[in-house]
Structure 1
Amino acid sequence: MSEINFKQIGLNNTILNIVDKLYFQTPTEIQKEAIPAILNGKSIIGQSQTGSGKTHAYLLPLLNRIDESSQEVQIVITAPTRELSMQIYEEIKTMTTYANKEQVWISRLIVGGVDRQRMIKQLEKKPHIVVGTPGRILDMINEGALSIYSATSFVIDEADLMLDFRFIDTIDELLVRSKKDVQLLVFSATIPQQLQPFLKKYLAQPIHIKIENGISPEKMEHRLIEIKHQDIVNKIMDISEVIQPYVAILFTNSKESANELGDKLVEKGLNVGVLHGGLTSRERKRMVKAILDLRYQYIVATDLASRGIDIKGASHVINVELPKEVEFYIHRVGRTARAGLSGTAISFFKEEDTSLIERLEKNGITFTFSDVKNGEWIETNRFNKRQLRKNVSTKLDKEAWSRVKKPQKVKPGYKKKMKKQQERIKSRLKREGRRNRK
C-alpha cells in the first residue's frame, strides 16, 4: 500500500508547490490528520511530540485558505516566546517567497524588542497574517493599531508553555476580541489538566488529534562534546577519523558560520558541500541535486536543510552549534537514523546550552557525554559541577539565566556580577508577566 501524499489531503497547487520546494516527501502523522480538518474549518487540539511537524500542520492549510481579495486579518498565530514567534514568522516568509506571493500574502511579526512606532506604522496596511506573543498582540489592539475581529483562524502554539508562562488569561482577552465562531487551533506536546477549563470554554466539539510517536529514533545515538577552548575544525577532523561517516551533516546557526566552516574543512581536504538560505535559487537547486546524488561526504548546513530534505544514507549529524529550540534539534537529528538504519548525533556544547540539553532529556533523549582521544571515543563527566546552572531552580530562573550576557574574558567577581544581572532580568520578567495577566 502506497503512502498518502500532500495532494491527497486536499492542498491546492500553490501550496503543493511550496511543499515541493521545502522538499517534504510525505506528510507526518500529525499533518495527515490535522491538515484535512483545518481545511474544512474545524477547530482542533493537536497533540504530538516536538519535532513531529506541528508547525506545518497548521501553516500549510491556513495559507491554503487565505482570501487574497480581502485585505484584513484572517489568521492570528500566538506563541509563548519572541524567539518561537520569529521562527514561525520566518517560516511564513519563506513559504510566501516559494509561492511567489510576496506582494499578495501580507504577514506581520508582533513581539517585544521591536520599535513600537515602526510596528504601529507597519500595521497601517492590514496584514492577512499576524504572528506574535499574546501580550504584545493585545498591546497593539489596545493601542488601536490592530483589530483581529475579522480573523477566521486563531492558533495557540505550544499551549503547555503558554500555561507555564501564565499567558492563558491574555489569550482569553484576545479571544474575547475575536469572532465567537473563530476556528481555534491548539497545538502542544502535552495538554496539562490545568488547561482543560480554558479548552472547554472555547472548544465545544473540537477534533482531538493525539499522536503517540516518540521523538527519538530507537537506533539513534546522541553524543555531547564540551567544546570549551578547543579548536572546532581540529575537533571535527578528530571525530571524522573515528566515525568514518558515509554522509555527515554538520549544522551551524548562521549562513556566515556555514560558509566559514565549509571553507576551513575544504582546506583540510574534506569533500564538503554547503547549503543555506543565502544561496540563490539556482545555486540551491544545484547544491541540493549534488547532495541527493551523494557527491559530498560532508554537508555543512543551516536549519534550512533540517526541514524535509531526505539525504539517503546520512549516517551522522554533527551540531557544530546547538540550536536554541528543542524542535530544531529534533529536526536536525531526524536527518539520520531513517528507513530503519542506525545513526549518530554528535553535538558540541557550551555552558549556555545546558538549559536546552536538560529540556531535550525531559523529552526522552539520552545523551552520552563524550570526547575523542587517541583515535577513539571516551566517556566524560556529565556537567562541570561548578557551572552556574546548579543554582537554577525555576523556569523563571532558567529564562533569566538564558538572557544573561556572558563575559568575553573572565575577571574576578564575574559570577557575582552575572548573578546580579540575572536577578534584574528575573524581576523584569516578573513585571512583564504581571502586565500580560492584566
Structure 2
Amino acid sequence: MMSHNFERFQLSSYLIDALTNQNISLPTEIQERLIPAIKNGKDVIGQSQTGTGKTLAFLLPVLDNIDVNSRETQAVITAPTRELANQLYEELKKLTDASDEVKSQLVTGGTDRLRMIEKLKQRPHIVVGTPGRIADMIKEKALAVHHVRTFVVDEADQMLDMGFIEDVDRAAAHMGDELQMLVFSATIPEKLQPFLKKYLSNPRHVHVQPKETSPKKIEHWLIPDRDRDRKELLKNIVKNVNPFLAVIFVNKKETADEVYEALVEEGLNVDRLHGGISPRERKKVMKRLQAAEVQYLVASDLVARGIDVKGISHIINYEIPKELEYYVHRVGRTARAGWDGIALTLYGRNDEMSIDKLEKQGINFKLKELKKGEWVDLERRKRQPKKTKIENHGKALPKPKKVKPGYKKKARYEQEQRDRRQHKMERRRKK
C-alpha cells in the first residue's frame, strides 16, 4: 500500500527536497484533491478557509509544470494585497531555493517601477503580484503574457470586495485561449459567477470545509462595554492580558488610527496596518511583526485573510465585523502551529443579533468582565422573547405608547388640580 506522501504525485525531486526541508510530509485534503487535477491542466475552483494548505495545493503543481528550457513567463499568480502577494512569493522562494533553473519575480506597487521593468525583461518563469500592478506591467509591454499557461487568482472573493476583479480581467484578456485558470476563495459570491463562467471551462470545484468553525485551541471571550468608552476599556484589557503579540481588529481605517493613537499615548509598543498606510510603511510593519518587535498591532480586515505571522497569542475584536464570516478569518490568526490563543470580543447592546448568529455557527463564547484587575465569569443574560400574535390570542399586538420621562407624574398632578377646581365649584354652587 502506497503511503500518503507527496512522492506519489510524481513531483520534481527539488520540490520533494524543499518539502522535506520544511518538515512537510503529508498532503492536506485540498492538496490531495487538487494537485493531480492542476498537474493535468484542468481549471479548478478551490474553496477553503485559510490554514487548509491551499497555497501549496497550487504552487507545487504550477512549479512542476514549468518548462525551464523555455525563457518565457508561463505562470502568473495574483493576490489582492501586497502583503498576501509578498507572502505567496516567500512560499514560492522556499520551494525554488533548491532549483537554480526556475526564475520568479514579485510585481507589486510600492517598489521601484523602472527596476521592476528591467527585471521583467529577463522573462521570469513565474510572476507573483497584485492585479493592478500586473495589469499595468502588461499595458507597459514590460510583462509578456501571451505564453502564460496558468493564471492563479488567490482570495478571489476579497478581489471582488476590493474592486480588483476588473484588473484581473484585464490581465487575463491578454493571455492565450488555452489558459488554465485556478481560482481560490473562501466563499464564492454570486457576483463572482460571471468572471468564473467567462474564464473557466468545466472546472474541478473542490470545497474543503474546516474541521471546526475555528481552531479548538482558541478560547472565545465576550466582554460587554456597558456603554463605556471602548478605548478606555481596551487600554485596561491590553495591560491586563500582556500578550506576546495581540492583533486588535477594527472595521474602519479611521477607527484604526484613533485606537492606535490612544495606545501610543499609553506608551505601549503598538503598530498599525490598514489600506491607508503607505506601501513602504506597510512593508516595515510586516518586517517588525516577523521579527517579533511589536506587541500590539491595530489592523483592519486587510490582515484577516491569509497573513501568517507567528506567535499571535491574542486576537482582540474592538468591533464585531460587519461581514460575520470575517470573525473566523480574524480569530484564525491565532492558535496556529500548536500555539494556544484567546479571542476577546468587545460588544454592545446592538451586537446581540450578531453574537446569536456566531453562536449558531458553533462559536462557544464565555462572557467575561475585568473587575479590579481580575477576570470574572458572567452569566449570559437571556434576551426576553418577543410576544407573538398567537400568544396575544390572535389579536394584533398594540403599539406601545411612547411615554416621555416624568409624564405620568405631571399628568397625575394636573388631574389633582382639576379635581380640586371641580370640588371648589361644587361647594360654591351649594352655598
TM-score (norm. length: structure 2): 0.59
**Which of 205, 208, 213 is equivalent to 1:208?**
205
Match of 2:68 in 1: 68
1:255 matched to 2:252? The reply is: no
* Alpha-carbon contact 1:49-1:215 (below 8 Å) kept: no
Match of 1:83 in 2: 83
Distance 1:328 1:95, change over 3 A: farther
1:135-186 deviation line (CA, Å, top 9, x unaligned): 2111111111111111111001111112222222222221111011111101
1:345 matched to 2:365? The reply is: no
Instruction: Please give the secondary structure, in 2, of the residue aligned with 1:89.
Output: helix
1:258-286 deviation line (CA, Å, top 9, x unaligned): 9x99xxxxxxxxxxxxxxxxxxxxxxxxx
Q: Which moved more, 1:224-233 or 1:136-145?
A: 224-233
1:19 matched to 2:16? The reply is: no
1:11-49 deviation line (CA, Å, top 9, x unaligned): 232111111222224211111101111111111111112
**Which of 145, 167, 171 is equivalent to 1:170?**
167
Distance 1:203 1:378, change over 3 A: same
Give the aligned CA root-mean-square deviation in angstroms: 4.1
Instruction: Please give the secondary structure, in 1, of the residue aligned with 2:11.
Output: coil
**Which of 122, 134, 152 is equivalent to 1:125?**
122
Indicate the percent of aligned positions where both proteins have the same amino acid: 44
Match of 2:95 in 1: 95
Letter in 1 for 2:332: I
Match of 1:32 in 2: 32
Distance 1:16 1:373, change over 3 A: farther
- Measured in 2, the distance between the counterparts of 1:321 and 1:105 equals 41
Match of 2:230 in 1: none
- Measured in 1, the distance between the counterparts of 2:36 and 2:17 equals 18
* Alpha-carbon contact 2:215-2:335 (below 8 Å) kept: no
Distance 1:326 1:143, change over 3 A: farther
1:135 matched to 2:137? The reply is: no
1:160 matched to 2:162? The reply is: no
* Alpha-carbon contact 1:303-1:332 (below 8 Å) kept: no
1:144 matched to 2:180? The reply is: no
Instruction: Please give the secondary structure, in 1, of the residue aligned with 2:50.
Output: coil
- Measured in 1, the distance between the counterparts of 2:33 and 2:8 equals 12
Instruction: Please give the secondary structure, in 2, of the residue aligned with 1:108.
Output: strand
State how 1:236-315 maps to structure 2 within 5 Å.
Answer: 253-255=289-291, 257=293
Instruction: Please give the secondary structure, in 1, of the residue aligned with 2:46.
Output: strand
* Alpha-carbon contact 1:50-1:215 (below 8 Å) kept: no
Distance 1:54 1:371, change over 3 A: farther
* Alpha-carbon contact 2:117-2:142 (below 8 Å) kept: yes
Q: Which moved more, 1:7-16 or 1:213-222?
A: 213-222
Match of 2:337 in 1: 335
Letter in 1 for 2:335: V
* Alpha-carbon contact 1:138-1:174 (below 8 Å) kept: yes
- Measured in 2, the distance between the counterparts of 1:118 and 1:154 equals 24
Letter in 2 for 1:333: A
- Measured in 1, the distance between the counterparts of 2:239 and 2:158 equals 34
State how 1:159-198 maps to structure 2 within 5 Å.
Answer: 159-198=156-195
Match of 1:394 in 2: none
- Measured in 1, the distance between the counterparts of 2:365 and 2:91 equals 29
* Alpha-carbon contact 1:51-1:215 (below 8 Å) kept: no
Distance 1:319 1:70, change over 3 A: farther
Letter in 2 for 1:27: P
Distance 1:236 1:81, change over 3 A: closer
Bigger radius of gyration = 2
Q: Cα distance, 1:235 vs. partner?
A: 3.2
Letter in 2 for 1:39: K
The total of aligned residue pairs comes to 300
- Measured in 2, the distance between the counterparts of 1:369 and 1:68 equals 57
Instruction: Please give the secondary structure, in 2, of the residue aligned with 1:33.
Output: helix
Q: Which residues of structure 1 form unaligned runs of 5+?
A: 238-251, 262-301, 307-316, 337-342, 351-357, 381-438
Instruction: Please give the secondary structure, in 2, of the residue aligned with 1:139.
Output: helix
TM-score (norm. length: structure 1): 0.58
Q: Which residues of structure 2 form unaligned runs of 5+?
A: 224-232, 245-287, 297-306, 318-325, 347-353, 379-431
Q: Cα distance, 1:111 vs. partner?
A: 1.6
Q: Cα distance, 1:254 vs. partner?
A: 2.3
1:223-266 deviation line (CA, Å, top 9, x unaligned): 589873788799369xxxxxxxxxxxxxx9222529x99xxxxx
Distance 1:255 1:141, change over 3 A: same
Q: Cα distance, 1:347 vs. partner?
A: 5.7
Letter in 2 for 1:179: G
